[in-house]
Structure 1
Amino acid sequence: MDSLLAWLRARGADCIPHSGGTLYGHLTRTCLHVVRWGASAHVVRGALFHSVYGTRSFRHRLLSHEERPIVRSLIGGDAEQLVFLFSTLDRKKIFSEGNKVPPVCRPERVLRELAIIELANLADQVASPQPPTSVHANTSTRVLLAHIQFLYGASRTDAAASDVSWQR
């Protein structure tokens, strides 16, 4: 993992603003959430690189899609697939339509792994040093709850809604 962290720094991830800090900080914190949640190794590596290609809301690209073979050689094919999908899919739409698994996310395991990375991504952004606007916080809360419902079913969503606390 140290070599991947050094590689991201060498590419300039620690100089790109993101979530009130740097892209490097955001990537590492997102990865730490996924590690704490006990995700498999390829999901952890995917989380570490999750927005290096940019996303619909984070337009700065550390790497272009043409560099996918380089990323694949660094983190592995399954992890790179998650990174690519994270950068190209409309995640909010996909997770709000939980019953409709897009063909690119089959088997469904891929969509669940994306949901784990997205939960970690949102958890880091909600807790960022740059406080979210109330609109952003409300949207993030709804999206987080939709992800929890997608991953665990409706019964967990009600419990999560009553237990959510946004601590800094």
Structure 2
Amino acid sequence: MRHPGMLPGQQLPRDARSLAAINLLLARGADKTAHANERSLLEHLIGTARLLLLWNAPIDTVRAGLCHSIYGTNAFRTATMRRNERALLQQTIGRRAEALVWSFSRLRRPATLQRALRHGSNLVRERSGRTRHIDSSSLQQLFILECANLLDQGVSMTHARRLLREATRLQNPSPVMLEDFRRQQRYAKRIRCTESAARSSH
């Protein structure tokens, strides 16, 4: 299910580091790596970054969105870059953005981010099972990044509602982001009703 609010040709990050990241992704074959919804990994990464731009996320978060699954994640196991290449990605998108990408690859997400926000905690659980402390700013930016990641792929009505509930706990949440989740809920509901009607007519 595609996010309904994303139209072709919408603005891409145009700063030098983001353009360098896109070139790196192309060099690593992200445009030929399969992802969900019959799209390439590169399409998904760019779609995520576009949403973050629309939500006026910090530029480091936008750059992280452009590379968020480059090391592989708990849900997407294909690694476009090896973890011993962190220095290269740091040089490309900056240390702060790369640190977000690194954390994103190591966490049991989205559950640990949602749980931390829900309970006002700064403890997150890694894929290894280890629990560690994370600073509040990183927690907020990782959750915004997760929202863009999931929304670009399209989420169910129920999942969109849960994410929206947690998003309202953010400091100064983007009104555009909140409205995008409400739009996704309506879109997913229409799809579900259409599918239910089609099944009942057979």
Could you tell me which residue of structure 1 aligns to residue 169 of structure 2? Answer: 150
Instruction: State the alpha-carbon separation in 2 of the partners of residues 114 and 162 from structure 1.
Output: 20
Larger Rg: 2
Give the structure with the higher percent helix.
Answer: 1
How many percent of aligned residue pairs carry the same amino acid? 32
Counterpart AA for 2:21: L
Instruction: Please identify, of 8-17 and 96-105, the stretch whose mean Cα deviation from structure 2 is larger.
Output: 96-105
Could you tell me which residue of structure 1 aligns to residue 36 of structure 2? Answer: 19
Counterpart AA for 2:160: T
Check 1:162–1:41 CA distance in 2 against 1; reply closer, same or farther (3 A cut).
closer
What TM-score, normalized to structure 1?
A: 0.80
Q: For each residue in 1:24-69, what CA deviation from the matched residue of structure 2 results, as whole angstroms up to 9, or x when unmatched? A: 0000000000011111111111110001011101011111211111
Q: For each residue in 1:10-33, what CA deviation from the matched residue of structure 2 results, as whole angstroms up to 9, or x when unmatched? A: 111011111220100000000000
Correspondence for 1:119 among 144, 147, 152: 147
What TM-score, normalized to structure 2?
A: 0.68
Correspondence for 1:35 among 26, 48, 53: 53
Contact 1:56 1:88 in 2 (8 A): yes
Quote the RMSD (CA, aligned, Å): 2.5
Identify unmatched segments of 5+ residues in structure 1: 127-135
Counterpart AA for 1:105: I
Check 1:78–1:104 CA distance in 2 against 1; reply closer, same or farther (3 A cut).
farther
- Matched residue of 2:31: which SS? helix
Q: For each residue in 1:53-99, what CA deviation from the matched residue of structure 2 results, as whole angstroms up to 9, or x when unmatched? A: 11101011111211111101100111001000101011212312321
Could you tell me which residue of structure 2 aligns to residue 96 of structure 1? Answer: 115
